[in-house]
């Protein structure tokens, strides 16, 4: 009995020591803080995609800290600029992991750049939640460490548009303009499934994001006599196409993807209100930017960044996108319990399913699901008024191992 | 006398002085010992800088040595990355051979493009090489079956015998070795008969012809060699980076490398090396000041153009000479 007691005691002590050692090995965690690394494009020509998204995530973490933190620990964040560039993003990630010793990562607004860090993150087993990058190339095939598409998976953008065109506008033939890049390829792949299910004929024209004259692709699409045109492009080609449609008297519905809606004010300035008579924009949030349902987020921004909020065009359109990934990170840490480890957080993430109150769809992960959101709403926009239309439109695309 | 701004910085066969040898020895020791006292992040930056050094050496051959203009080096670099990665993946070619294959493919393409483009001069040559660079980026982004197109290409970890390179620290000795090797190759080229032909063409094509140099062939060879070195830099990139996307091989990279070579000092190997390191480091350091980095970067370039138009190293050399004469 006595021997058994000693053995038990030693086992317990050994177990305690091992758990202490394991705890000590967990980087970025102290009794009072959890250190996370945030990164996004804070400079350069693509900063509009990430600058205020990073600010939104920061203000959410600040709010969590103000409310008492997570199981008594405050979130400490370190921010790096990734310039939307693969080499810089990898440098930022390595700096945060190896020099700053963060517990987990929350960053990235540019898909191509984000994918460059995939192998490093997986090898080092760091939990990584993207900001607003769709990052499908890093999400699929799924790994145990990378989670994203909190705004929307690029695979789902075009699919949800096809769904809307078919169900709300009764379109049978849809002209579909995408980019000849990663976004374009992912969008089209997702759209084909929804087109097939809805009996929609897709007429596809792929254009370069830097295109200057859209006359030829537009005329080719118009020749197919489509019921609607879907613009799955960035803002610049979209503006050129909308303008061209107006010049050539095209009066059927034009639906612009969320990737092209960076600044609707600028769009009106570029194309004029007359070009927006039969125009719809896709939105991944529950309401139009600045709408009633998103007011608490905008109020939070004004309180957190009064100087920025006073500037024109701030907050930037994508600002609220920074909230759901931050919520997901906080929720995973809470679910991981008072002694969080990277493995516990990853397990919590895989089972996560919550309504952010910001995005159109629920934030859902699963055993093979690494893209949180696949749903969008649509807004009728005439150049002055934004009128959200009823219904949430969800792409059917799901990952299937090849 | 030549009016070329490069004339005064043409390399000569000067013996290294004691302090220079001591300085080089210190640099070499620090470079070799770097992984022992720093993080993988710093080593990643060091690897990236060493790759840019080789890329700049490639551009130096064509611009600095031969006096021709090229805006195609991001493309040759990309060809090297894709060719070495694909050769390694498709036929399991050992990585050093895959790197050589990448350099060879880039060199052959460079010879071909050089033969066509070098019929032109000045702005027309710049535009032709720029157009080639843009076309290659389009090829990288659209040749799906080979390059995996816009999804980018995953590069398999390099292997050297039983050693699989899975971290920046593991890659660093190889990257450093290949960088030193390419510096040696560039110095050897520069000091060879071929190198003298390059500089003769640079200073005066008429005089070079009068000396019996086949100017056209020399220019094409310079272009091919330059492309091969840039392609080799691409192979080095695959030693520590596991993904390449066409977006990384566009105009921005071209301008970055051009800036490194010009600001480092046209016509000087040390200038190309120094430009790559100094501007690579400045770029990384400025990432800490996102709000101001573009202003600071622009200001640095303007100051260089105003006060050191022949490049950083010529400027430092002048100041050292002035100080010596002052004594």
pLDDT digits (tens, 9 = 90+) for B148-200: 888 889 999 999 888 999 999 999 999 999 999 999 999 999 999 999 999 99
Q: Quick one: pLDDT at residue B10?
A: 47
* Chain A residues touching residue B241 (CB < 8 angstroms): 87, 90, 116
Choose between A31 and B18: higher pLDDT. A31
Q: Give the pLDDT of residue A4.
A: 57
Q: Do B151 and A137 touch (CB under 8 A)?
A: yes
Q: Is the pLDDT of residue A192 over 70?
A: yes
Q: Which residue has the higher pLDDT, A210 or A239?
A: A239
Q: Which of A98, A154, A178 to mutate to test the interface with B (most CBs of B within 10 A)?
A: A98
| B82-86: average pLDDT | 96
**pLDDT at residue A21 above 50?**
no
Please indicate if any CB of chain A lies within 8 Å of the CB of B204. no
Nearest-angstrom CA–CA distance, A251 and A189: 28
Cβ of residue A116 closer than 8 Å to a chain B Cβ:
yes
How would residue B14 be classed by pLDDT, with cut points 50, 70 and 90? low
- B51 to chain A, any CB pair closer than 8 A? The answer is no
What pLDDT score was predicted for residue B9? 43
Distance CA A132, CA A40 (A): 9
Query: Does A7 have pLDDT greater than 70?
Result: no
CA dihedral over A232, A234, A239, A241, signed as positive or negative: negative
Q: Which of A124-133, A146-155, B238-247, B295-304 has the lowest mean pLDDT?
A: B295-304
Mind telling me how many Å the CA of A380 is from chain B's nearest CA?
Answer: 32
Give CA separation, A62 vs A59, A66, A72, in Å: 5, 6, 14
B217 and B21 Cβ atoms separated by less than 8 Å: no
pTM of the entire predicted model: 0.86
Q: How far apart are CA A149 and CA A324, in angstroms?
A: 10
Task: Give chain A positions within 8 Å (CB) of B138.
Answer: 208
Res A250 pLDDT > 60: yes
Give the pLDDT of residue B295: 86
Check if the beta carbon of residue A230 is closer than 8 Å to that of residue A195: no
pLDDT of residue A8: 60
In A35-54, the residues whose Cβ lies within 8 Å of chain B are 42-44, 47
Most confident of A43-57, A384-398, B74-88: B74-88
Alpha helices in A224-380 (DSSP H): 235-247, 264-271, 295-304, 306-309, 323-335, 342-350
- Output B21 or B155, whichever has higher pLDDT: B155
Determine what percent of chain B is predicted with pLDDT higher than 70: 94
N- to C-terminal Cα separation, chain A: 58
Whole-number CA gyration radius for chain A = 23
- Using the predicted structure, report yes or no on whether residue A234 has a pLDDT greater than 70: yes
Q: Is the pLDDT of residue B278 over 60?
A: yes
Per-residue pLDDT tens digits for A365-392:
998 899 999 999 999 999 999 999 999 9
**Considering only CB atoms, which chain A residues are within 8 Å of B134?**
none
Q: Do A180 and B142 touch (CB under 8 A)?
A: yes
pLDDT score of A13? 55
Strand residues in A223-293 grouped as ranges (E) = 228-232, 254-256, 279-283
**pLDDT averaged over every residue in chain B:** 88
Query: Mean pLDDT across chain A, nearest whole number?
Result: 91
Chain A residues within 8 A of B252 when measuring between CB atoms = 85
pLDDT at position B17 over 70: no
Secondary structure (3-state) at B32: helix
**Confidence tier at B4 by pLDDT (50, 70, 90):** very low
Q: Is A10 a residue whose pLDDT tops 60?
A: no
Minimal CA separation from B289 to chain A, in Å: 9
CA distance A228 to chain B (A): 27
Q: Average pLDDT of B220-247? A: 95
CA distance B170 to chain A (A): 14
Per-residue pLDDT averaged across B40-69, rounded? 94
B149: left (phi over 0), alpha (psi -120 to 50) or beta: left
């Amino acid at each position: 009995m006595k021997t058994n007691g000693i053995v038990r005691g030693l086992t317990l002590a050994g177990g305690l020591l091992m758990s202490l050692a394991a705890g000590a090995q967990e980087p970025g965690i102290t009794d009072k803080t959890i250190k996370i690394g945030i990164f996004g494009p804070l400079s350069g020509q693509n900063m509009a995609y990430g600058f205020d998204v990073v600010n939104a995530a920061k203000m959410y973490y600040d709010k969590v800290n103000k409310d008492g933190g997570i199981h008594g620990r405050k979130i400490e964040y370190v921010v790096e600029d990734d310039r939307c560039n693969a080499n810089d993003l990898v440098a930022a990630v390595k700096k945060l992991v190896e020099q700053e010793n963060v517990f987990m990562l929350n960053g990235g607004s540019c898909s191509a750049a984000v994918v460059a860090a995939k192998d490093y993150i997986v090898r080092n087993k760091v939990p990584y939640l993207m900001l607003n990058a769709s990052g499908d190339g890093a999400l699929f095939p799924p790994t145990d460490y990378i989670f994203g598409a909190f705004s929307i998976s690029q695979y789902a953008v075009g699919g949800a548009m096809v769904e809307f065109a078919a169900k709300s506008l009764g379109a049978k033939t849809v002209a579909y303009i995408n980019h000849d890049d990663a976004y374009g390829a992912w969008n089209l792949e997702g759209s084909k499934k929804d087109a097939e299910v809805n009996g929609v004929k897709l007429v596809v024209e792929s254009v370069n994001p830097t295109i200057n004259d859209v006359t030829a692709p537009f005329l080719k699409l118009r020749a197919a006599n489509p019921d609607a045109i879907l613009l799955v492009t960035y803002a610049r080609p979209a503006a050129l196409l909308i303008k061209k449609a107006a010049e050539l008297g095209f009066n059927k519905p034009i639906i612009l993807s969320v990737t092209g809606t960076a600044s609707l004010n600028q769009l009106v300035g570029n194309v004029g209100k007359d070009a927006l008579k039969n125009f719809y924009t896709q939105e991944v949030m529950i309401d139009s930017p600045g709408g009633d349902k998103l007011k608490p987020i905008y109020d939070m921004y004004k309180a957190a960044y009064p100087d920025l909020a006073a500037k024109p065009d701030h907050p930037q359109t994508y600002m609220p996108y920074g909230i759901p990934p931050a919520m997901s990170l906080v929720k995973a840490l809470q679910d991981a319990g008072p002694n969080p480890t990277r493995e516990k957080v990853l397990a919590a993430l895989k089972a996560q399913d919550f309504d952010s109150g910001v995005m159109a769809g629920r934030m859902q992960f699963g055993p093979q699901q690494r893209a949180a959101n696949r749903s969008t709403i649509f807004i009728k926009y005439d150049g002055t008024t934004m009128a959200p239309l009823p219904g949430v439109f969800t792409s059917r695309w799901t990952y299937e191992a090849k | 006398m030549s009016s070329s701004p490069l004339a005064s910085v043409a390399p000569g066969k000067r013996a290294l002085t004691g302090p220079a040898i001591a300085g080089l020895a210190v640099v070499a020791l620090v470079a070799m010992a770097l992984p022992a006292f720093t993080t993988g992040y710093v080593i990643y930056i060091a690897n990236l800088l060493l790759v840019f050094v080789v890329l700049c050496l490639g551009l130096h051959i064509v611009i600095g040595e031969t006096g021709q203009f090229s805006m195609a080096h991001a493309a040759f670099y990309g060809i090297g990355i894709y060719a070495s990665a694909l050769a390694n993946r498709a036929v399991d070619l050992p990585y050093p051979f895959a790197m050589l294959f990448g350099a060879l493919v880039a060199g052959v393409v460079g010879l071909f493009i050089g033969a066509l483009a070098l019929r032109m001069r000045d702005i027309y040559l710049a535009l032709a090489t720029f157009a080639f660079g843009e076309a290659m980026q389009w090829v990288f982004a659209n040749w799906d079956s080979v390059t995996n197109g816009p999804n980018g290409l995953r590069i398999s970890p390099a292997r050297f015998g039983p050693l699989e390179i899975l971290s920046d620290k593991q890659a660093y000795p190889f990257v450093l070795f290949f960088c030193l090797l390419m510096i040696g190759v560039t110095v050897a080229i520069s000091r060879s008969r071929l190198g003298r032909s390059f500089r003769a063409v640079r200073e005066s094509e008429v005089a070079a012809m009068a000396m019996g140099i086949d100017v056209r062939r020399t220019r094409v060879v310079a272009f091919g060699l330059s492309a091969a070195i840039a392609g080799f830099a691409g192979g080095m990139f695959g030693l520590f980076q596991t993904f390449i996307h066409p977006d990384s091989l566009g105009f921005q990279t071209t301008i970055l490398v051009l800036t490194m070579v010009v600001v480092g000092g046209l016509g000087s190997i040390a200038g190309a090396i120094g430009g790559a390191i100094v501007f690579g480091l400045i770029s990384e350091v400025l990432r800490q000041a996102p709000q101001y980095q573009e202003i600071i970067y622009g200001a640095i370039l303007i100051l260089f153009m105003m006060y050191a138009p022949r490049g950083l190293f010529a400027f430092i050399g002048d100041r050292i000479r002035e100080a010596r004469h002052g004594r």
